[in-house]
Amino acid sequence: MTETTGYSGSGLVLVKNPHLDLLEEDVLYHLDLGTKTHNLPAMFGDIKFVCVGGSPNRMRAFAQFMHRELGLAGDAEDVADICAGSDRYAMYRAGPVLSISHGMGIPSISIMLHELIKLLHHAKCRDVTIIRIGTSGGLGIEAGSVVITDTAVDSSFQPRFEQVVLGDVVVRSTELDKELAEELLACSREIPDFPTLIGHTMCTYDFYEGQGRLDGALCSFSSEKKLAYLRRAYDAGVRNIEMESTAFAALCGMCGLKAPADHIPTTFPSSNSVKMVKTLIFSL
């Protein structure tokens, strides 16, 4: 079964679940938020940008950086974790920017995105741009480069995200916003000595065998086989590898969020990539 993406034209964040209207209360369990316990429109109605990444500390550092850059009142060091009541994810806000951690891998980011998208919907947010800022393994590119993802592909290099729903495989598109990717690239050009490129990002279910590593607890292939696979990936347009982009692209695309993913094949925080995202946020 194949589904299509859904931009509404109104700029509102969509949920595609008729059952939600029947709920007396929507509990965003892993974020420790809910429609009865919190005034979500008052707390989040003015959010325009959401940045997501794996680790809580990194997303806190990003929120603190944005707090300073936006010249907000108060000490950036004091940004509070909005999801402190849950130890699953961490969420910080700096003005119109929300910064949230998603953990590692598709199941973890997928749970966070379901609840985040419902949060933005309940809060009646409009025209929200979402960016994943994360680490990744570069493929045939200069060390320290940032890859801005145009399309997320699976480990067979296909632009699809397969989700098993009630035992059936549902296929969702993983195209990302090409215009926004170009805008991010233009922002990166303002920063000297900062190699950036647009390319496909391959999303795997595993860091070790899934990415052709020879140093996991299990390895059933030779070094030659690994190199042949990575070469095929490169020939298919893959420039980096990580573990969330297909789910990120599929869920955000279906729910009307503009999303160019941004992946950094070095250790984060790379100050240049953060500056690039900041320039985009200031320009929109």
Ligand X SMILES: O=P(O)(O)O[C@H]1O[C@H](CO)[C@@H](O)[C@H]1O
Residues annotated in the binding site for phosphate, as ranges? 88, 132-135
Find the shortest distance in angstroms from Cβ 72 to ligand URA: 31
DSSP string, 22-88: G-S--EEGGGTEETTTS-HHHHHTT--EEEEES-HHHHHHHHHHHHHHTT-SS-GGG---TTTT-SS
Chain positions 141 to 160 lying near ligand X, rule: CB under 6 A, are none
Question: Distance between CA 29 and CA 255 in Å, rounded?
Answer: 20
137 contributes a contact to ligand URA by CB under 6 A: yes
Q: Mark 101-140 with x for binding to ligand X (rule: CB under 6 A) and - for no binding.
A: ---xx----------------------------xx-----
Distance CA 51, CA 32 (A): 19
53 binds ligand X (CB under 6 A): yes
Instruction: Report which of 117, 138, 157, 64 is spatially closest to residue 259, judged by C-alpha positions.
Output: 117
Q: Is 243 in the site for ligand X (CB under 6 A)?
A: yes
136 binds ligand URA (CB under 6 A): yes
Angstrom CA distances, 106 to 54, 203, 207, 219, 242, stand at 11, 9, 12, 22, 10
Rule CB under 6 A: say whether 101 interacts with ligand URA.
no
Cβ closest to ligand URA, residue 79 vs residue 139: 139
Q: Is 135 in the site for ligand URA (CB under 6 A)?
A: yes
Among candidate residues 139, 270, 251, 283, the one with its CA nearest the CA of residue 197:
139
Select from ligand X, ligand URA, none the partner in contact with residue 137, using the beta carbon and a kind-dependent cut-off of 5 to 8 Å. Answer: ligand URA
Beta carbon of residue 183, minimum distance to ligand URA (angstroms, whole number): 25
Q: Does 269 bind ligand X (CB under 6 A)?
A: no
Binds ligand URA by CB under 6 A, chosen from 207, 208, 229, 234: 207
Is the CB of 35 or the CB of 211 nearer to ligand X?
Answer: 211
207 binds ligand X (CB under 6 A): yes
As a whole number of angstroms, the distance between CA 126 and CA 268 comes to: 29
CB 270 within 8 A of CB 146: yes
Contacts of 230 (CB under 8 A, 6+ apart): 139, 212
Q: Is 222 exposed, middle or buried (0-12, 13-18, 19+ CB in 10 A)?
A: exposed
Subset of residues 155 to 194 that bind ligand X, contact rule: CB under 6 A: none
Residue placing its CB nearer to ligand URA in the complex, 98 or 243: 243
Q: Summarize as ranges the residues that interact with ligand X (CB under 6 A).
A: 53-55, 104-105, 134-135, 207, 242-244, 268
Q: Summarize as ranges the residues that interact with ligand URA (CB under 6 A).
A: 135-137, 207, 211, 241-243
